[in-house]
Amino acid sequence: MLCGVSRNDKVATLILGILKPRRFLNREAFPTWLAIATLLACLGLGLCEPLPDGLGMDFTWKYQALTALAAVLGWLAAAPLSWCLLRLFGRRASLADLLHLACGAGIVLVWTFPLAFVMRSTASSAALSLLREFLFSLVFVMGAGSAVDGVINRLSWRLTTLVAIVIASIALQMLPEWNNLTHLRMKDPGSGLVAVLRGEVPDGPIPNARWTLNGPQGPALEVERVSLGERQVVKTAREGILVVDVHPGNSIGGDSGSLVTPSPAAMSLAASVPEGLPEIRLHELHSLVRSRIAYKRTFFPGSVAEILERGSGDCKAYAQVFAEGAAALGFQARVVRGLLARPDGFWAHAWTSIRVDGKWQEWDPTSPVPRPDARYLRFSPPREAQSVFEGEMAIFALDSLRIEPLP
């Protein structure tokens, strides 16, 4: 053959190179055009991956493209980073070879792409992202040893480079969110405490209340996020401040957000709810959910089946089980998020919105009192978010909060 390497060899290198990363340094087996094509394929696949379930919002194409580009740039950054680390260990390598290797190691995304359609929960999606970072870094480090002038088998170099690439890649992928990260304010991330209380709040239901929100102009202070029919009425909206009157007894207009679909586990749970009037059945479901789940703070609640098997979870778990249970009973249901004012502070909270007899009602399965009062301030999800922090995380950018009971 006139060509040194056949087309089949190129395909084999692309597919099996993850097992023998030094193949990516062979310009005949893995030519530059194929390296660039692999890079572009990674960018395209990143745009095609489904969003994790439970986010409750869609993202603009611009944000998704920026996120996919940041991920690819994070992987390419492995080349100059490892080049610098090699110099520290007294070794040299071609930066061009290392860039070539980084493109080839990106095949990890192709290998793991089908898993994105299986690992759909927030927790499993985050685990998949970490797995990809580790696999990419491992493939790159294994191949980089072959690009070094002289032998470098030192474990310290391999471990240092592996950890440095993982950290640098994750940091670069967070660049689209950097501005939002710098504005995050939270008293206790482990518990969900957003802010300490200013003023006094009775330890019990409040029929009507006025909320005052202060902070940088952004998603948390957008009128459309907190305006909710007659339940939540915006009284004042100006730069850095939002005043909202909350009247829980009034109707909720134009409820928004994704409707839940009942899982087999939720349908099995709902089957034990006796027949009766709609609200009676929801009260029965409320008692049933509370009897099956013990409160325990968890960052990722998991599926309804996992929650019920575990028998514990926080407000997100309660809300997910109740919403799917209500959907299994024939109601339209959503998981909603916002703030809950208690005597010990303002807390990030999740509850549900259920359509009963043509009207939307709010139900909180975490609380022994099923119907939320004026201590609950809801934030509707944006139609198209430009950041993950425009969802429930937007409340963590607020500077201060205040609630005053109204007559």
Whichever domain contains 205, its CATH number is 3.10.620
Judgement on whether residues 100 and 217 belong to the same structural domain of the protein: no
Distances in Å between the alpha carbon of 336 and those of 57, 94, 320, 348?
11, 53, 10, 11
Residue with tokens 């482990």, as numbered in its chain? 190
Bridge partners, 294 (sequence order): 312
Tell whether 187 is covered by a domain.
no
Judgement on whether residues 71 and 136 belong to the same structural domain of the protein: yes
Judgement on whether residues 166 and 199 belong to the same structural domain of the protein: no
Coil, strand or helix at 4? coil
Bridge partners, 66 (sequence order): none
Judgement on whether residues 115 and 258 belong to the same structural domain of the protein: no
Phi and psi (nearest 5°) for 312?
-155, 160
Tell whether 293 is covered by a domain.
yes
Among 173, 205, 236, the domain boundary falls at 173
Confirm if 107 and 41 have CB atoms less than 8 A apart.
no
* Domain boundaries, position 296: 193-405
Q: What residue type is 318 in one-letter code?
A: Y
Q: What is the pLDDT along the chain (407 residues), one digit of tens a residue?
A: 334 445 555 454 455 555 677 777 777 777 888 888 888 888 888 888 887 776 666 777 887 888 888 888 888 998 898 888 888 877 778 888 889 889 888 888 888 888 888 887 777 888 888 899 898 888 888 888 766 655 455 677 778 888 888 888 888 877 766 666 656 666 555 667 777 666 567 777 888 999 998 887 666 678 888 888 888 999 998 888 999 999 987 667 666 667 889 999 999 999 999 999 999 999 999 999 999 999 998 877 888 999 999 999 999 999 999 999 999 999 999 998 889 998 888 888 999 999 998 889 999 999 999 999 999 999 887 766 666 666 666 777 777 888 998 88
CA distance 86 to 144: 10
Runs of H (alpha helix) within 49-114: 61-76, 78-88, 95-105, 107-112
Domains held by the chain: number: 2
Least Cα distance to 59 among 394, 397, 389, 395 occurs for: 389
- The predicted model scores a pTM of 0.74
